[in-house]
C-alpha cells in the first residue's frame, strides 16, 4: 500500500465510509491510467474488512495482507483477458454475490478496466447492480467511464481520481528504486500519472530524451544531417514522435523559465541545469517561442491524422526548429557535410 499516494480527500472519504460501516453497493472509481485507482479500491476492501479497523492497511495484518496479495476468498480482483471482460466472467461474479462472505464482513469484487466489458457483459452486471445483497460491494475501476452504459453508471457511486502532484509521482518512483534525479524528470514528464512514469522508465524514455536534447541543446553541431537522423529515429511510431515533441517542448519551457528567472514554475529536466543555463544565454526568447510553436503544430498534425506522413512532418519541423535556433550555424554544418 505504500505506493498509494495523493488523493487525500478521496481516501479520507473511503476511511470514513468504512468506519461508519455503510458502504454503497457499487462504486465507480474513474480517472486517468496510473493514478492509483485500483490500489485505492484494494485499500477500501482492506478498510471494509480489517478486523483491527486500521486506517493504514499493511503487511503486518494477516487479513489485509491476503487481500492485497489476492489470496482472500471474499475479495476478488477481475482483470480483462485479451483486452476484454466477457459475459461468462460477469455471470460467475453474479453467482459469487449470491453467497455471503466466508470470512469477511463484505464480499468485495473489483473490476479493473471495467470499460472493457462489452454490452452483454454490462447488461449481465445490471442483475447484481439492481438487487445487490447487503454484504456486496462492487467497485468498477475505469479510465474511460463514458464507455459504460448509463444504466450501469447511474447505479454506482462515482469517485473521480485526479492527476497526482509531481512530487507524489517522484516519491512513488523512488520507492521503486529509481534515483531521485531521474524520478523527478520522469514525474514531471508524466503529468501526474505514476503508471505512465513507470512505463516511461521501462521503455526507452531516457535514451530518447538524450537524443532529442543532444540536438536541441546544440543545434549548430547537429546540422541538417543530425536533424534528419533524429527525425528518422523518432518517427518509428506515433507515440515515440509525440513523446519526442513533448521532450523538446519541456526543454524549451525550461530554458524560458531560466531566462525569466521564474524558478517557482518548476523545471522538468532538473538533472541538466548546466545545459539549460547555457542554452538560456545563447538563445533569444523569440527564437525559443517560434520553435515551441512549430513543435506544437507538428504534435497536433501527428495526433489528429493517423494517415499523416510522420517522418515528413518531423523532418520539416526539426529542420525549421534547428535552423531557428542555430541561425546561419546550421548552414555551416551543411557545407561541412
Q: Which residues bind Zn ion (CB under 5 A)?
A: 50, 54, 61, 63-64
Comparison of 50 and 170: residue with beta carbon closer to Zn ion: 50
DSSP 85: B
Query: Nearest approach, Cβ of 35 to Zn ion (angstroms)?
Result: 24
Query: Nearest approach, Cβ of 4 to Zn ion (angstroms)?
Result: 15
- Answer positive or negative: Cα dihedral of 200, 240, 206, 250: negative
Comparison of 54 and 297: residue with beta carbon closer to Zn ion: 54
Query: Nearest approach, Cβ of 53 to Zn ion (angstroms)?
Result: 8
Query: Nearest approach, Cβ of 15 to Zn ion (angstroms)?
Result: 13
Comparison of 93 and 137: residue with beta carbon closer to Zn ion: 137
Nearest to 312 by CA among 234, 240, 246, 256: 234
Query: Nearest approach, Cβ of 51 to Zn ion (angstroms)?
Result: 6
Which helix (DSSP H) or strand (DSSP E) does residue 61 occupy?
A: none
138, 139, 143, 144 alpha-carbon torsion, rounded to 10°: 20
Strand 107-112 and strand 26-31: the pairing is unpaired
SS3 content of the chain, % helix, strand, coil (to 5): 60, 10, 30
Q: How many CA atoms lie within 13 A of 58 on its CB side?
A: 6
Q: Coil, strand or helix: which one is 303?
A: helix
Comparison of 63 and 139: residue with beta carbon closer to Zn ion: 63
Comparison of 63 and 170: residue with beta carbon closer to Zn ion: 63
Comparison of 10 and 50: residue with beta carbon closer to Zn ion: 50
Query: Nearest approach, Cβ of 93 to Zn ion (angstroms)?
Result: 24
**How far is the C-alpha of 330 from the C-alpha of 72, rounded, in Å?**
64
Amino acid at each position: 500500500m505504500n505506493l498509494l499516494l495523493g488523493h487525500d480527500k478521496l481516501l479520507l472519504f473511503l476511511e470514513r465510509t468504512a468506519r461508519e460501516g455503510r458502504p454503497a453497493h457499487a462504486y465507480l472509481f474513474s480517472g486517468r491510467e496510473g493514478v492509483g485507482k485500483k490500489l485505492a479500491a484494494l485499500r477500501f476492501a482492506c478498510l471494509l474488512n480489517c478486523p483491527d479497523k486500521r486506517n493504514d492497511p499493511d503487511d503486518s495484518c494477516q487479513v489485509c495482507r491476503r487481500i492485497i496479495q489476492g489470496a482472500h476468498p471474499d475479495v476478488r480482483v477481475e482483470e480483462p483477458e485479451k483486452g476484454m471482460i466477457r459475459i461468462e466472467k460477469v455471470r460467475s461474479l453474479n453467482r459469487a454475490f449470491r453467497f455471503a462472505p466466508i470470512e469477511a464482513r463484505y464480499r468485495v469484487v473489483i473490476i479493473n478496466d471495467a470499460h472493457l466489458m462489452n454490452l452483454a457483459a454490462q447488461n449481465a452486471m445490471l442483475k447484481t447492480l439492481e438487487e445487490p445483497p447487503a454484504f456486496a460491494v462492487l467497485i468498477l475501476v475505469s479510465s474511460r467511464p463514458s464507455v459504460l452504459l448509463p444504466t450501469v453508471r447511474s447505479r454506482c457511486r462515482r469517485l473521480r481520481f485526479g492527476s497526482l502532484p509531481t512530487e507524489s509521482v517522484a516519491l512513488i518512483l523512488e520507492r521503486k528504486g529509481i534515483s531521485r534525479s531521474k524520478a523527478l524528470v520522469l514525474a514531471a514528464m508524466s503529468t501526474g500519472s505514476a503508471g505512465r512514469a513507470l512505463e516511461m522508465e521501462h521503455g526507452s524514455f531516457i535514451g530518447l530524451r538524450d537524443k532529442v536534447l543532444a540536438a536541441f541543446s546544440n543545434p549548430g553541431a547537429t546540422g541538417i544531417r543530425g536533424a534528419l537522423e533524429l527525425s528518422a529515429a523518432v518517427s518509428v511510431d506515433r507515440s515515440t514522435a509525440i513523446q519526442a515533441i513533448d521532450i523538446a517542448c519541456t526543454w524549451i519551457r525550461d530554458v524560458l523559465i531560466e531566462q525569466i528567472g521564474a524558478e517557482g514554475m518548476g523545471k522538468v529536466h532538473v538533472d541538466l541545469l548546466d545545459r539549460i543555463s547555457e542554452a538560456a544565454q545563447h538563445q533569444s526568447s523569440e527564437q525559443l517561442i517560434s520553435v515551441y510553436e512549430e513543435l506544437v503544430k507538428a504534435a497536433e498534425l501527428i495526433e489528429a491524422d493517423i494517415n499523416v506522413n510522420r517522418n515528413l512532418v518531423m523532418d520539416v519541423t526539426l529542420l525549421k526548429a534547428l535552423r531557428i535556433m542555430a541561425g546561419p550555424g546550421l548552414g555551416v554544418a551543411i557545407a561541412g557535410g
